[in-house]
Each structure stands twice: as structure tokens, then as C-alpha cells.
Amino acid sequence: MAKSATQKRLVRMLPVLGLVAVGFGAIAVNAVAAPSSPERSVTLTIPNASAAFNATTWSTTCASQGLCGTASPSASLASVTVTFERTSDHRFWTGNDFTTPRPFALQTTGGANWVLPFPRRPLDGFYRAVVTATYIAGTTRPTVTTSRQLLILTSTPPRPRVQGPAESPVAQSANFSVSTRYLYPVSFTCDVDHETEQVGIDPSTKTNERQDNEIHFSCGGTPHPTRLRFDAITAQSGSLNVTPTVAGKSCVDAVAVDVAGNRSDMQSTCFSVFGVALAVLHGQEAGAQLGQRFDQPIVVALKTTSGHPVANAPVTFAVAHGAAAGSVVDCPSTGEPGTCSVTTDAQGMATLPALVAGQVPGPFTVVASAPGASPVGVTVYSVVPFTMAVAPSTPLMPGHSIALNLQLANANAVPLTVKKGSLSIKVTPGLPSCSAGQFSLGRNLGANVVLPAKSTVTLSGLHLALKNWPTLAMAETGTSQDACKGVHLALTLSGVATG
């Protein structure tokens, strides 16, 4: 078949285009991939994540004071230029001063490791650097640009303010606040008793650019090896919790550190640390029948060695192991079995909510403990029942007392010992007009009394010395007490016996 003119021209052109004719004018293309170009980039070297220069880093971040960075690839790099703007008035650096309102491109030296020297450090303030790298790619001149806001800050921040208590009990948390007024973001370095630790605080979340506003930060560190430990840091409250471990004097020091690394003078606040001690107020020698609740609560007081109550301090009550040991009940905060943790009130007192006697008669101990104080033990008793009555006695007069010849009955098959000092009494007058508040237990049982098994005895029958008998007293009020004249008194007695 004869070829047309168009077909002939196409065939003649194929070698030039790199194409091969196949069959009747069909065309196949052999594609050759062009070499890929390396990725172009340009960087600006900064001294820290905040891009904040102080006097030292402005001179040492680069080979000479000024700006520097890198550009790649170096083979096709044509030039690197920088525009440097002072953002306070939007003036641009010309190489000598900030005199032009228009962007002024400054040529760098050093090629791929570019440098833009400055004859002097600009004044403190915010600046914006725009770095442009120009490359040669055939007939085009592609560019890559990076920009960054910079801060030049060479002045030192003001001394921070440290506020806290003038005194604190040992082993109790003392809260200190650290604050400052400053135009630029700051963090704080604290030390306690001269054990310095750097605080890791993100200054980007603490920016405050109003001079009249106060900004607060947290400050903390690691435990002092012998004197102090730091509690968990609370960044939101801007406070430092210090827990002294020994009595004496401690000092909290703080230094403000701005985003450029400039440090303020140190501010120190010292406080006195008092020792603390526990004392038993109520519950010693109390008793309850087997498996029953104690009527008398166990109360302890936590005070400093100077006599001040320690409020809001943790106190733990723990029942010591033993055959007669009881159990803690109704405790809002328990730890180990047989323990209860409570908090002291404003008077420094802590009360065990409830205690149940054991199933075996005998004494057991409840130990109260608090941080920084020596533990104290409260001896109580799991007891079996016995009865007490008062034999007829002589009349009672205001300002006097009468001895009570107790009648004691032990229905148990084992002897019991009524503990000295364990009696309590409730007086109920026969007439409401006679106040029960005038009557009290003048003297408690002065010696242990042994009750034989299945017996009923009196103190006189046991030949107990009269000086060890309990007494009932009537107070002299200074006013007429005739309302009680001739009134019969009902006495309710309770005591502790073991066997």
C-alpha cells in the first residue's frame, strides 16, 4: 500500500523524537526518567526553643555576633539573603541601623553555612528574621524561605517574691508562693537550705506582656538529703510545698530565670520549724464488754513543742495485735486492717470514730501516730460483765464528799480484777429542780479490787483501805442549794474489770 505524504513525514521524524514506527503507523514511547532534584532547605540557628538571645548567646551562637544558619544543597545554591525587622516599629536593618520602613535584603557570606554579622547587638526587644535561599535550576531561580520571631533580652528579671508561713510544725506541709512582675515570660529555680534544683516549667504557658499584671509559677525540686522533702508540685496554684523533717530553721530561696536565660538576684524567705508531740486526752484505761462498742472515745492532741495546736494534720490509729484486741469501725479512711486515719481539728485534736472490744477478755493497745511525733499508746480493755451497787451511806452536803462502799457481783466462773481508776459515775437527782451538775466522782477507785468467781462482795468486806474507796462529791456553788435538800440520788456506775 502506498504511504501518504503525512505518513512519510512522520516516519522521517521518528528518529529525531526518539520514537520507533511499528506496523501500520502504530507508535510506542520509550520514556526516560529525569534525575530527581535534591530537596532544598534553609535554616536559622537559634539558641533555644524560645529563640531568645541574651548577651552571651548573641555573641556565641554563631561564629561571630549576629545571625547564621545553613542552606542545602550547596551545589545549586546561588545566594542567601536576610531581612531583619524590628517589630516594635516595623523598621528594617540596613547593615548599620533600623532606618527603612521597607524590607531590606542583606547578602550573607559563607555560602551553604551562611553568616550575617552585626557590628553591634540590637537593643532588647522582639525582631523578625526572614531568610531566603536562591538556587539555580536551569533557567529558573527557585527560592526557599524560613522566618522566625526572635527576642533579644539582656536585662535581668526582677528579684521574685517568696511568701510563706513564719513557722511550721515538723513533718507538716508548708506552702510557699513564688511570684514576680515582669514583661517577659519567666520560670523559677528554687533551693531549700541551699540544695539547688532547676525547675522544669514551660514558659510558653506563662507569658504575660502587661507590666501591671502579676504572674505566678510553681517552684519545686528534689528532696533534701537530711532536712527537707518536696511534695508534688502544683503548677496551677504557683506554690511550693515544703515538708521539713527536723526542727530548726529552714530557708526557701528563689531565682527568676527569663526565656533568654538571664537570672535575677536570689530572694530568700526563712521560717522556724517546731517539733510536734502527741498526747492522750481521753480513752486511757477505758473498757467495753466483749464484742461491744466503747462508750468513751479515744482522743489525742497534736501540738508543737511550743504548745501551739497543729491543725489539719494526719493522725493514724492502729490496734495492736493480741488475744484481746478489738477492731476499728466506722472509719472514713482506712489503710491496713485495724487502722484508721483522721485529721486534726482546729485545736489539734483527733478522735478515733469508734472502737469495738475483742472476743477475749484482757487489755489491748491502740497506738496513735502522726508525722514528726513519737507514737503514743492508749491501753483499753475487753471485759466481761460484772455489777456494782452502792451500799446505804451518810447524807451528802455541799462542799463535801462521801465514800462509796461499793457492792460488787461477779457471776463469771473466773475471778475478775476491777481496775483502779476505771470508774465513772452518772448522778440522777430525784427532783428536776436539783441540778445533776453539782455532783461528781470526787475520787476514783484507788486500788485494784479482785472479785472471786461467782461472788458478791463489798469494799469493806474485802478490807480495802478507806483511802482507796471512791467518793461522791457535791460542789459548793455559793448560791442556795436547798432544791437538793432531802433529794435521793440515783447513781449509775461503770468500771473496767479483767479476768
Boundaries of every domain in the chain: 41-152, 161-274, 280-383, 387-476+487-498
Question: How confident is residue 392, by pLDDT bands cut at 50, 70 and 90?
Answer: low
CB of 262 within 8 A of CB of 156?
yes
Percent of the chain exceeding pLDDT 90 equals 36
Local confidence band at 219 (pLDDT 50, 70, 90 cut-offs): low
Assess whether the region 280-383 and the region 387-476+487-498 belong to the same CATH fold: yes
Give the pLDDT of residue 37.
59
What end-to-end distance do the CA atoms of the chain give, in Å?
Answer: 135
**Distance (Å, whole) CA 283 – CA 133:** 85
Find out whether 326 and 302 touch, Cβ atoms under 8 Å: no
Range from 40-54, 223-237, 243-257 that averages highest in pLDDT? 40-54
pLDDT for 477 beyond 50: yes
Comparing CA positions, the residue from 384, 366, 281 lying closest to residue 326 is: 366
Instruction: Please say if the pLDDT value at position 19 is more than 80.
Output: no
Task: Give pLDDT, residue 493.
Answer: 82
Rounded to an integer, the average pLDDT of 21-49 is 59
Contact 422, 287 (CB under 8 A): yes
70 contact partners, CB below 8 Å, separation of at least 6: 41, 42, 43, 45, 112, 113, 114
Q: With contact defined as beta carbons under 8 Å apart, do 456 and 409 qualify?
A: yes
pLDDT digits (tens, 9 = 90+) for 342-353: 999 999 999 999
Residue type, 332: P
Average pLDDT, the chain: 80
Pick the CATH number of 161-274 from 1.20.1080.10, 2.60.40.10, 3.30.450.20, 3.40.50.300: 2.60.40.10
pLDDT given at position 340: 92
pLDDT digits over 81-103, tens only?
999 999 999 999 999 999 999 99
Q: Are 128 and 122 in contact (CB under 8 A)?
A: no
pLDDT band at 207 (very low <50, low <70, confident <90, very high): very low
State yes or no: pLDDT of 459 exceeds 60.
yes
pLDDT score of 360: 86
pLDDT band of 393, cuts 50, 70, 90 = low
Q: Is the pLDDT of residue 186 over 70?
A: yes
Give residue 239's pLDDT.
Answer: 62
Q: What is the pLDDT at residue 467? A: 93
The CATH number of domain 280-383 is 2.60.40.10 = yes
pLDDT higher than 80, residue 36: no
Instruction: Determine the average pLDDT of the residues in 265-273.
Output: 87
pLDDT in tens, 116-153: 999 999 999 999 999 999 999 888 899 999 999 999 99
Query: Residue holding cell 460542789?
Result: 475
Specify whether the CB–CB gap between 87 and 51 falls below 8 A.
no
* The predicted structure's pLDDT at residue 72: 96
Q: Which CATH architecture has domain 387-476+487-498?
A: Sandwich (2.60)
Q: Dihedral (C-alpha) 237, 242, 243, 246: value to the nearest 10 degrees?
A: -160
pTM reported for the whole predicted model: 0.54
